[in-house]
Amino acid sequence: MHDYLKGLNEQQKEAVLHINGPLMIVAGAGSGKTKVLTTRIAHLMNQGVDAFNILALTFTNKAAAEMKERIEKILGNSEARNLYIGTFHSVFARILRGEAHRIGYPNNFTIYDTDDSRSVLKTVINEMNLDDKHYKPSVVGNRISSAKNALVGPAEYATDYYIQQEDMRANRPAIAQIYAAYAARCFKNGAMDFDDLLLKMYELLKNFPEALHKYQHKFKYILIDEYQDTNAVQYQITKLLAAAHENICVVGDDAQSIYSFRGATIENILQFQKDYDDVKVVKLEQNYRSSQSILNVANEVISNNKGQIPKNLWTENSAGEKISLVRTMTDNDEGKFTADTIQEQKLRNHYHNRDFAILYRTNAQSRAFEESLRRMGIAYRIYGGVSFYQRKEIKDFLAYMRVIVNTNDEVSLLRIINYPARGIGKTTLEKCAIYANEQNIPLFEVVSRAGEFGFKGGTLEQLSNFVTMIRYFQSLLTDKNAYDVAVQVGKHTNITKELFADKTTEGLARYENIQELLNSIKEWTESPLNEEDGEVGEKSLGAYLQQITLLTDADDDKENSDVVKLMTIHAAKGLEFGCVFVAGIEEMLFPNAMSINTREELEEERRLFYVAITRAKHRLWLTYANTRYRFGQLVQNEPSRFIEEMPEQYIDKSYAGGGARNNFSSDMGSAFERMQRGFGFGSQAADAEKKYGPPPAKKTNSKPEYLPITPPSSKVVEHKPGADFVASDTSNLQAGQEVEHQKFGFGTVAKVEGSAHNPVATIVFKLNGEKKIMLNYAKLRIIS
């Protein structure tokens, strides 16, 4: 082990060497926070603290993984694998898995992501005969989430005067009942949503003294990263856990608090000093990341916020280049400017793709950048947005696995009971749901005892086939691993086959995604057992499913891949990049229109801006557009008020005003750009192709007004069948036969396809062109 104290400054050393008693580290941006945390943990272990007694909570899995890795490097052994390092959610999920029996949950409880949770809410709202247009699941869900994060249960929610007043004023008085029904339903489903992972952990510690005692003594040393972003539940949990030993170390920066929307409160950081006696406070004020110019701008901007914890962030780094402020005409130009500049910087200053990040306020802004990067042939990766595990095909597949492990999980059951289509439709399911609610039994039980509930014939057969299949998968659990089960699921459900048969681009992508999922399950199954696998400690399917839900796509980062990174500013917290573009510095967008109503909101936007700026090490571009498409509508935005808050002497505004230099392209591009803007695509289009490659295929919305080969279906040329029209038996219909359709008239059968139960004929009609006709329903008269 090398001397880990070397290379630390005085304050950092002070923080690392403090072992017992409460410690608060106020860590400015880029002040070596992670280094201090990891070194401190290594130091604790070096002083004889057992890794099993250390708990470190972070906000992202990535931060946790990075910490673990760095500790291992310092220590030079693999003791670090015994540390409890992870996000609040993943660590608590692990603990709850082991303690589930105490709070009445199965240890294989399902974790619902936001989509799953909204779908439960929708079901509950509909069952209560409320209008889901008025009680929107997303709105109600956010309200319930805030309640949970503030430790307000359904009972308290219903009786709290102010909460009720608020709901009344919003004309949503039933939220309290929905909340109660939602919580009950999740419990019945054996499922927890993200907020439950925190709330149930709190309840476990609060209501079960043995559990509290156990974990208080297990976690003798507690470290919490990003403390400024903790909310009330997280605060209460850590307070309970730390009460016995008071060896709690929190790291935070009030200037970087950006998660108040999910209940985080800066109060926690201020409260910390009141909660414990003799809190040692260490301020890390030397910034090792950014150039002088960048830091000066950041400091100046944040000074507009009131009530900051006083600190003086400074750096020994050189002044560096000025910050570039760039105005473009449109959001697309903003994208082109960014891609062009990246290309130019790569050539001129020998940067790589991986040195660049494009940060924006909202995910919707990513598209313009994607397009222009693709045209320039620059490799990029988007973080956030729809993650891998949120894709439909992946969720469908995982839903099978979830049902196998926990048949009470109604959300997953409803997802798959008729996917792939097996003839169990809406009517059948509605009946099942009614029985399940009447008798208060799980939906799956109704399905598996369908005969007793009066289902007969084909429906009964389909239902029992489904149950038999699930039971078969369950029988595999005892001696097959997660991967083997997954393969069987793919095979017996025909999911793989069905997707493989779909030769469209999207179908191909879906098939590949499933393959990728299978690979990742295999990889997980074969990876060595470690602390991550939970209290229960096994490689079961249940363990796999629980960790998968808590992953985000920022986590499976191929760190070395040479790509430009695109993400929201929120997602960029804790990261740093050589060159940073912050896009859309406009009123309504940043600060966002939703967050300009109170001083608190505006100050949070400003902190967000501060976070964005301080991600940059060497170069920083701030871009904004005169007009951009929002909502499919062209809108004009003023430059952001934050621009005026930046000190002029560090800003290069030569691309921010009007005039020729306003145009970003240094050479012939500028004329083209002006032409294009003024006159639409003209003779210069060829130049554009040379420069940017062929434009992406445009989906034309305008229908040609002449010569439609197949008339639009809305304009069916009506055919009136004779009074004697009699539908023929079409069970043996062959290609080449002539038929008469009740509505479309005469035509020739081109082919017959589809399953035996649901044959589909493609028929070319004389008057109405090609149609796909489902023979089970359409009335056809065979002529020859």
**Binding site for ATP: which residues?**
27-34
Instruction: Candidates 567, 575, 646, 688: give the one binding DNA (CB under 7 A).
Output: 567
- In terms of CB distance, is 471 or 772 closer to DNA? 772
The answer to whether residue 550 forms part of the interface with DNA (CB under 7 A) is: yes
Catalytic residues: 33-34, 225-226, 256, 615
Indicate the angle between helix axes 10-17 and 33-46, nearest 10 degrees.
Answer: 40
Phi, psi of 513, rounded to the nearest 5 degrees:
-60, -40
Nearer to DNA, 443 or 571 (CB): 571
Compute how many residues bind DNA; rule: CB under 7 A.
64
Binding mask 359-378 for DNA (x = CB under 7 A): --xxxx--------------
CB of 284 to DNA, least distance (A): 23
- Chain center to CA of 329: 31
Residue 271 dihedral angles phi and psi, to the nearest 5°: -70, -30
What is the closest distance, in whole angstroms, from the C-beta atom of residue 568 to DNA in the complex? 4
310/457 with CB nearer DNA:
457
User: Min. distance of Cβ 388 from DNA in angstroms?
Assistant: 12
Sign of torsion over alpha carbons 632, 636, 640, 643: positive
Among 409, 533, 604, 740, binds DNA (CB under 7 A): 604
Select the residue interacting with DNA from 9, 142, 474, 762 (CB under 7 A): 142
DSSP letter string over 756-781?
SSSEEEEEEETTTEEEEEETTTS-EE
Binding segment toward DNA, per CB under 7 A, in 12-20, 76-84, 155-163, 260-268 = 260-268
CB of 426 to DNA, least distance (A): 5
Among residues 145, 287, 293, 341, which is the contact residue for DNA, using CB under 7 A? Answer: 145
Instruction: Kindly state the DSSP code that residue 717 receives in the 8-state scheme.
Output: -
- Residue 247's identity, in one-letter code, is N
3-state secondary structure 577-595: EEEEEECCCECEECCEHHH
Q: From the list 31, 60, 481, 623, which residue makes contact with DNA (rule: CB under 7 A)? A: 60
Q: Which of 18, 136, 245, 280 binds DNA (CB under 7 A)?
A: 136
Spell out the residues 6+ positions from residue 129 whose beta carbon is closer than 8 angstroms to its own: none
Q: Is 552 in the site for DNA (CB under 7 A)?
A: yes
Alpha carbon 58 to chain centroid distance? 17
110 binds DNA (CB under 7 A): no
CB 571 → DNA: shortest distance, Å?
4
- Detail the DSSP E strand segments found in 601-679: 616-630, 633-636, 651-655
Binding region for DNA (CB under 7 A) out of 28-36, 210-218, 402-410, 708-716:
708-716
10 Å CB burial of residue 530 (0-12, 13-18, 19+) is exposed
Contact flag: residue 140 with DNA (CB under 7 A): no
Report how far residue 163's alpha carbon sits from residue 159's, in angstroms, rounded to the nearest whole number: 8
Our CB check for DNA shows the closer of 364 and 782 to be 364
Q: Is 424 in the site for DNA (CB under 7 A)?
A: yes
Q: Which long-range contacts (CB under 8 A, 24 or more apart) does 480-485 make?
A: 481/525, 481/539, 482/401, 482/521, 482/524, 482/525, 482/539, 482/540, 482/541, 482/544, 483/518, 483/521, 483/522, 483/525, 483/526, 485/401, 485/404, 485/541
For DNA, the closer CB: 89 or 618? 89
Output Rg (C-alpha) for the chain, integer angstroms. 30
Q: What's the CA gap between 509 and 79, in Å, rounded?
A: 41
- Please state, in angstroms and rounded to a whole number, the distance separating the CA atoms of residues 380 and 779: 53
Pairing of strands 221-224, 23-27: unpaired
Beta strand pairing call for 23-27 and 248-252:
parallel
Task: State the nearest-atom distance from the C-beta of 26 to DNA, in Å.
Answer: 23
Q: Which is nearer to DNA, 162 or 631 (CB)?
A: 631
Query: Could you say whether residue 773 binds DNA (CB under 7 A)?
Result: yes
Question: What stretches of 276-330 show up as alpha helix (H) in DSSP?
Answer: 292-302
| Residue 425: closest CA among 470, 465, 462 | 462
Q: Does 114 bind DNA (CB under 7 A)?
A: yes
Under the binding rule (CB under 7 A), the answer on residue 261 touching DNA is yes
554 is a contact residue toward DNA (CB under 7 A) = yes
For the CB of residue 113, give the shortest distance to DNA in the complex, in Å. 7
Give min distance, CB of 778 to DNA, in A.
5
| Of positions 670, 675, 743, 762, contacts DNA by CB under 7 A | 743
**Overall size of the chain counted in residues:** 784
Show the binding pattern over residues 617-646: x = contacts DNA (CB under 7 A), - = does not.
Answer: ------------xxxx--------------
Does position 701 interact with DNA (CB under 7 A)? The reply is yes
**Residues making contact with DNA (CB under 7 A):** 59-61, 87-90, 114, 132-133, 136, 138, 142, 145, 194-195, 260-262, 361-364, 384, 392, 418, 421-428, 459, 550, 552, 554, 567-568, 570-571, 592-595, 604, 629-632, 699, 701, 713-714, 716, 743, 758, 771-774, 777-778
